[in-house]
Amino acid sequence: MNEFVLSLPPFAWFFIGAVLLLVCRGVIASAITIIMPIVSFMLLLQWDHGTDYAYPLMGMDLTLVRVDRLSLLFAYLFHLAALIGGIFALHEKDKVQQIAALAYAGSAIGAVFAGDWISLFVFWELLALTSVFLVWARRTSASYHSGMRYLIIQVLSGVLLFAGALLLIRQTGSIAFTDIGLSGIGAWLIFIAFGIKCGFPFFHSWITDAYPEATPTGTVFLCAMTTKVAVYALARSFAGEDILVTIGLVMACFPIFFAVIENDLRRVLAYSMINQIGFMVCGIGIGTEMAINGAVAHAFNDVIFKGLLMMSMGAVLFRVGHVKGSHLGGLYRSMPKTTMCCIVGAASISAFPLFSGFISKSIIMLEMLEAGHTVGWLLLLFAAAGVFHHAGIKIPFFAFFAHDSGLKVKEAPANMLIAMGIAAILCIFIGSYPSFLYSLLPFPIHYSPYDVTHVLTQMQLLFFSALAFVWLNLKGLYPPELPSTNIDSEWLYRRVAPAIVSRVVVQVEGIYILMKTALLKALNHLIILLSYLSSPQSPLARAWSVNGMLLALLILMIVVLLFNYF
Amino acid sequence: MNNDHKQPDGFFYQPNTIRWILRAFYTSCIVLVIVDLVVHRHIITSLEKIPAFYALYGFVACVILVLIASQMRKVLMRDEDYYSRHEETMESQTAEGADDE
């Protein structure tokens, strides 16, 4: 029995928890949502590096669990995210969300442990199917539609992954999910599948569409898992592909423009998430051991600080009912603890010294320089200044300070504060003791982020970015928060495509109506003709003379005769 | 930054507080530039040789970012219900179509 329990794959506990939730309720159900990640984590510590958990299926040896430093780090991370998210959602009695969140975390852990394409595909699709309920659980018309779009895009990614994997398996004969590089159509399909989940430019709009529509607690889970699984998959299969550097730079830069003018603060965070993933994708694209370390470390930190920021906005959404920058402000008086946690998250994402972002972002920037990409480095520096601008200043400033909105609300519930507190402490701990996170990274690392140059230059960058904010605000040049929608690439499938389709439909309908009226008209004429022929006035109904009849018969017989001869 | 007629209460809305915060902030900025001139930095690219390069870059980058973003609003900004309005009309049309059947 004991051995059986120990040998269960790590993700199994989450699915067991999800099944148990079906029959439990109340306090026990809530307890399961946080006990399961803890139990699973304790057991995960027993798994050694290099362990494989293989099983045969239809003549293939599937590797359900592959334990190495890379997969373990992400597995630890998702356990942590599931636990913090679980605590944050402890007040939530909605069974749908509880089950979806546990199964979703289980799928993410399953995906990072998957050692072959088939297992990966199964968990890849499970990620989509379980997480969409966190969007739908908001139970509004907007969230329903958003969830539908989310599901379609996610399933598309899964289908591409499956098609690519089949082609690749046929080509190489191996089902191992490993470094494949960008050669052959199969690899490209897989690359696009990963790219969709990772939020590559033009594929990113599901993130900014669905995350702001999900429930206050659901988004905390969503922002931790799906995209990071994709980052893991890219690091596993496409490390060192040059194209990733370009893609990463675009991802790091373009969202900050949108984030500055966006009014929904959770959507601002969704944009800043794409920006942060851009840094990771750059690191993977550079592909050196150090750069991969930086990308993975940044993914680890991002889950915690982005989770923290999402939680603080979730708490505001929970209490106020919306997170529109134009209608918020002055909340620091009623939600001081949430404000503090938000500021810690903001400092971490902006990479202030002693906060977690500082120790990971700089590795990627440094590797960019070492690899000789000076322009890329300048762009990353721009993105780093920009993220401080929109996530570091804009989020806390417009939510908790800025103009006094007159909102009087209660502080966030205790469980939310505890979850945010844990995340905030982790941000400071990791930032202050980098060796903790560095020791978990996939490759050995000899890097000290705390030297005079690095601290000084980073402080200059941040303080003068803040100075720009202050100056623009005092000059009245800063774009005010306005209730609005900004069109992005989703415009293509939410407006352009429907417009084209409806135009085509109108054309087709027009042709159909034309043909229908013409046919009806022709039928009408036929009916009139027939009724005329059969009427008493018709020539056929006249009394014919005997001579005339004989003549007609004669002509008929001659015709028959002629036919007989020829 | 505050255009309300009535002065809202609260520590961070007192003009004195704002003044002191800004003063401390400006002083820190100046100190950071002075330190840059004194301390010897490690340099990888020649760009970094420019005195207070990071400070200049951060300031200019953010101003450009905000100015471009403000201009983007002219092209990209729509009403808040831009999508929902359209999607609801589509939906009601579909529903009417279904009723007709």
Residues A398 and A522 in one domain: no
Whether residues A286 and A370 share a domain: the answer is: yes
A459 and A517 share a domain?
no
Backbone angles phi, psi at A51, to 5 degrees: -70, 135
Q: Which of A457, A486, A515 is the last residue of a domain?
A: A486
Lowest average pLDDT, out of A238-247, A428-437, A475-484, goes to A475-484
With beta carbons less than 8 A apart as the criterion, state whether A125 and A156 touch: no
| Two tokens, residue A25 | 């309720």
Tokens matching residue A397: 């400033």
Could you tell me if residue A82 is inside a domain?
Answer: no
Question: Regarding predicted confidence, which is higher, B101 or B78?
Answer: B78
- Residue among A310, A260, A199 at smallest CA distance from A486: A260
CB contacts, 8 Å: A396 with chain B: none
Task: Enumerate long-range contacts of A67-73, CB under 8 Å, 24 or more apart.
Answer: A67/A113, A68/A442, A69/A440, A69/A441, A69/A442, A69/A443, A70/A232, A70/A235, A70/A236, A70/A296, A70/A442, A71/A112, A71/A113, A71/A232, A72/A44, A72/A47, A72/A440, A73/A296, A73/A300, A73/A440, A73/A441, A73/A442
Mean of pLDDT values over A281-308: 96
Contacts of A467 (CB under 8 A, 6+ apart): B25, B26, B29, B58, B59
Rounded mean pLDDT, A444-469 = 92
Asked whether the predicted pLDDT for residue B90 surpasses 70, the reply is no
pLDDT one-digit tens code per residue, A387-407: 998 889 999 999 998 888 888
Q: Nearest CA of chain A to the CA of B58: how many Å?
A: 5
Query: Which of A382, A464, A479 minimises the CB distance to B29?
Result: A464
Q: In this complex, is the C-beta atom of B89 within 8 Å of any C-beta atom belonging to chain A? A: no
Tokens for B93, please give them. Answer: 């049309």
Mean pLDDT of chain B: 81
Give the distance, in angstroms, between the CA of residue A523 and the centroid of all CA atoms in the same chain: 57
Which residue from A338, A365, A340, A362 is spatially nearest to A351, judged by alpha carbons?
A: A362
Last residue of a domain, one of A424, A459, A486: A486
Does residue A53 sit within a domain? no
Which domain, by its residues, includes A494? 489-531
Asked if the model's pLDDT at residue B99 lies above 70, the reply is no
Element (H, E) at A428: helix A414-432
* ipTM, two decimals: 0.85
Per-chain mean pLDDT for chain A: 92
Statement to judge: residues A461 and A526 lie in one domain: no
If asked whether residues A377 and A506 sit together in one domain, one would say no
Contact yes or no for A404 and B4 at CB 8 A: yes
Cβ pair A206, A149 in contact under 8 A: yes
Distance in angstroms (rounded) separating the CA atoms of residues A215 and A137? 6
CA A552, CA A543: separation in Å to the nearest integer?
14
Q: Among all chains, which residue has been given the structure tokens 């229908």?
A: A516
Question: What pLDDT sits at residue B14?
Answer: 84
Burial grade of A176 (CB within 10 A; 0-12, 13-18, 19 or more): middle
Q: Do B57 and A402 touch (CB under 8 A)?
A: no
Specify whether the CB–CB gap between A323 and A285 falls below 8 A.
no
In this structure, what token pair is assigned to residue A281?
């994708």
Q: Residues 56 to 85 of B: which have CB under 8 A from any A CB?
A: 56-63, 65-70, 72-73, 76-84
Both tokens of A328, joined, read 């918020």
Which pLDDT does position B4 carry in this prediction?
45
Number of independent structural domains in chain A: 2
Element (H, E) at A99: helix A95-113
* Whole-number Å distance between alpha carbons of A136 and A503: 30
Strand partners, A54: A63
Express each pLDDT in A13-38 by its tens digit. 999 999 999 998 889 999 999 999 99
Inform me whether the pLDDT recorded for B88 exceeds 80: no
Q: At what angle do helices A95-113 and A12-23 cross, to 10 degrees?
A: 170
**Among candidates A496, A537, A415, A493, which has minimal Cα distance to A89?**
A415
The Cα–Cα gap between A131 and A108 comes to 10
pLDDT tens digits, residue range A350-370? 999 999 999 999 999 999 999
Residue A363: CA count within 13 A, CB half-sphere = 28
Same structural domain for residues A507 and A422? no
What are the residues whose beta carbons fall under 8 Å from the beta carbon of A129, sequence distance 6 or more? A151
Half-sphere exposure of A406 (CA within 13 A, CB side): 3
Q: Are residues A337 and A448 in the same domain?
A: yes
Q: Which two tokens stand for residue A90?
A: 């402890």
- Give the Cβ contact number of residue B6 at 10 Å: 7
Note whether A509 and A474 are same-domain residues. Answer: no
Token match 């690359």: residue? A191
- Burial of B98 from C-beta contacts in 10 A (0-12 / 13-18 / 19+): exposed
Query: A276 or A537, which is more confident?
Result: A276
Residues A269 and A379 in one domain: yes
The last residue of a domain, from among A453, A486, A519: A486
Sole residue written with tokens 């966190």: A134
Does A96 map to a domain?
no
Q: Is B36–A456 a contact, with Cβ atoms under 8 angstroms apart?
A: yes
User: Is A421 domain-assigned?
Assistant: yes
> Residue B93 — very low, low, confident or very high, per pLDDT cuts 50/70/90?
low
CB distance A468–B63 less than 8 Å? Answer: yes
Residues of chain A neighbouring B34 (CB-CB closer than 8 A): none
- The answer to whether the beta carbons of residues B86 and A487 sit under 8 Å apart is no
| pLDDT single digits (tens) A462-484 | 999 999 999 998 898 888 888 88
Which two three-digit tokens encode residue A198?
């990772």
Other Cβ atoms less than 10 A from the Cβ of A89: the count is 28
Is there a contact between A484 and B77 if contact means CB atoms under 8 Å apart?
yes
pLDDT digits (tens, 9 = 90+) for A309-345: 999 999 999 999 999 988 998 899 999 999 999 999 9
Q: How far is CA A135 from CA A213, A223, A456, in A?
A: 6, 12, 42
Q: What pLDDT score does A207 carry?
A: 96
A324: helix, coil or strand?
Answer: strand
Q: Does residue A406 lie in a domain region?
A: yes
Q: Among A208, A200, A203, A172, which Cα is nearest to A187's?
A: A172
pLDDT at B65 over 80: yes
Q: Is residue A538 part of a domain?
A: no
pLDDT over threshold 70, residue B2: no
Give a yes or no: residue A494 inside a domain.
yes
Question: For A238-264, where are the alpha helices, taking DSSP H only?
Answer: 242-261
Pair (A427, A495) in one structural domain: no
**Is residue A95 over pLDDT 70?**
yes
Residue A198 host element (H or E): helix A184-198
pLDDT confidence of B7, banded at 50, 70, 90?
low
Evaluate whether A335 touches A315 at the Cβ level (below 8 Å).
yes
Q: What mean pLDDT comes out for the span A250-272?
A: 94
- At B101 the pLDDT is 41
Share of chain A above pLDDT 90, in %: 77
- Whether residue B99 lies within 8 A of chain A, CB to CB, comes out as no
Closest chain A residue to B57 measured between Cα atoms? A461
Residue A419, domain member (yes or no)? yes
What confidence tens digit (pLDDT) does each residue in A34-92 have?
999 999 999 898 887 776 777 777 777 888 889 989 999 999 999 999 999 999 999 98
- pLDDT of A390: 87
Report the residue of A461, A494, A501, A509 to disrupt the B interface, i.e. the one with the largest count of B CBs within 10 Å: A461
> At B97, is the pLDDT very low, low, confident or very high (cuts 50, 70, 90)?
low
Considering only CB atoms, which chain A residues are within 8 Å of B81?
485
A241: number of CA atoms within 13 Å, CB side?
A: 19
What's the confidence (pLDDT) of residue B1? Answer: 43
Q: Are residues A411 and A526 in the same domain?
A: no
Cβ within 8 Å, pair B54-A468 = no
pLDDT computed for residue B3 by the predictor: 44
- Percent of chain A past pLDDT 70, that is, above it, reads 100
Based on the domain organization, do A418 and A511 belong to the same domain?
no
Structure tokens at B44: 């990888």
Q: Is the dihedral of CA A225, A226, A228, A234 positive or negative?
A: positive
The C-alpha angle A52, A57, A63, rounded to 5 degrees, equals 20
Distance CA A279, CA A352 (A): 16
Kindly report the pTM of this predicted structure.
0.89
